Structure 1
Amino acid sequence: MKKNNFFIALFFIIFFILKSVKADETKMIQGLEIFNEIAGCAGCHVLKAAGAEGNVGPSLDSLKPTEAEVQDMVFYGLGVMPAYGEDEMLTKEQVDIVSFYVANSAGK
């Protein structure tokens, strides 16, 4: 009986880990699309993982910003960078997704 409980618990642990990995993969794919196509971040920023070679904004590979830093910058903008969230060019969900993508891609 204890052996069966162990295998059941192990199954659920593996299931939730794989589910989490799949969710992160989906966010990365969506984040790349937002970065390159929807928001056009690649036109201004360097981000090797996205194939971006912009020269207007800072290199995200050099900055290696945290997810919270990206969220703040994308939502409110700074200088010539538009406020994508505040001006409703991106939804809150899109801001969160592209922030996750950048934070997990920068410098890699």
Structure 2
Amino acid sequence: MSNAIESQKVADEKKGWKGLLVAAVLSVLFLVIFYLAIENEPDYMPSKQQETNQTSFKNSPVMSKEALAEAEKQRLATTESQAADTGMKNMQQAATETHSEHSAH
């Protein structure tokens, strides 16, 4: 009987060492993945966004003076046309209100 008990203890010890080895390997694997996740910040983190904005500003192309002048002309033309459209709408609205006041009397 003592042979059976001893062989059982040896088998249990082997299982224990195997379990300990598996736990150690899994722990190391988890720690490596965790370390990599911490070191590589995703793009949506605030510190990464500031870094990206600074580098994109430095790398942005500079427009020539002629291109800037043309862009300003186009912006002014767009602003003037929007102002003219707004003025026309206001005049039409005023005319409609005046016409409705006259027909109400």
Same fold, judged at TM 0.5 (above): no
- Structure with bigger gyration radius: 2
- Tell me: higher relative CO, structure 1 or 2? Use CA pairs within 8 A at least 6 residues apart: 1
Normalised to the residue count of structure 2, the TM-score between the two structures is 0.37
Taking structure 1 as the reference length, the TM-score comes to 0.36
Greater share of helix: 2
